[in-house]
Structure 1
């Protein structure tokens, strides 16, 4: 069996995110706006839920307004203002954060013309692709450096402006512990916010003792099998390395818990 970042990191992380409360969606069954990667059906359902009584026409107008803000040369400031706005029709319910919708997808293509990139994992909040995660297999020092170079080039590319503007947080990991001897962040799990120049990779060291029982939901055999089947990886289910990498204290799972569990994500987005 050939072990890649998919089998060693991506699929275990997706399953961990499911335990954190994100619903896995197969892209084979979804439709989305290719210009922005907004998911209109998810967006409209979520906005109607968190804004009781809002008219369908108003939700349609809000979606159109959101798309327009992503064309601005403002690093997403206008879009973020809409996210943070608690008056009028809300994009995110911060008063009852669990009232929002949370989905995880894999290999969502970010494409404009003949140029594209495809993050390993994308998180949708109310149908909006606010977070993406790139993973590399362990013991691949060049992997993080190469990924950093790629993301720098992508974010400097005006063709990807809408995708930069909609993104609020990025995570990069090779599923290894930090190497304190490295001058540059190469080994470990890092996070960054968008930039039109060079996003800064940051360490995250958890100070709290996390309550896994409270934070993580049980993972059903049916859900795990559905994720594996959708990625054509049922064969790895009983592999010891795969089982180990599902543990919550693995580096990528740990940073996802620290930054993407409901309470932390609400704090980050505000």
Structure 2
């Protein structure tokens, strides 16, 4: 198996596999592949673990019940997964007895020995996290996972008892040696957040933390005012404004 990340702003992960080799992903991640790749689905593929229980945990977290397996059959094959927003794709090695927690859309694909489940689901009464709230995936097992984070990626190596307070949307990934807790900052924010206060994630070392500068919920919230419906004229204005926002993100390629 040989994996290569191609591109810069909107990277693509291209994986070349020998016959019999495979990778897994959640539903809807495939971009393109060669005819020698065979797709199959299961509720839990990793290392023979998980099964239906792992699948149900993913559903509770708002993800698909099924994982998709891409296997090279009858010869070598290639499968590619493209990023959905400007950002980075990078691999992480997962060992038995240790793992990572990744934001809900962070797992792009993995080798079959990796077991993805839900690590945390926290509902907020108000905010921009969607109906499923703040969700983290837990990646366990022994293998390689490829992670997709949006915007610029900032990495911290926290010492024991060293803590970062992070807006939930900026939490990209962290080692499971890092403890985490949802904290609420009370005060003036109650006026705006319906009495819930302002939520932050307290990440406490030891361990590595990866933060993302352009979370999908925050980007969607920023663009939403320019996508309002109504009559044709307002839709045209909204479309033009949205095009300007996207143009600023993607440059002349839009």
TM over 0.5: no
TM-score when scaled to structure 1?
0.25
Higher helix share: 1
Higher strand share: 2
Q: Which one has more relative contact order, counting CA pairs under 8 Å at least 6 apart?
A: 1
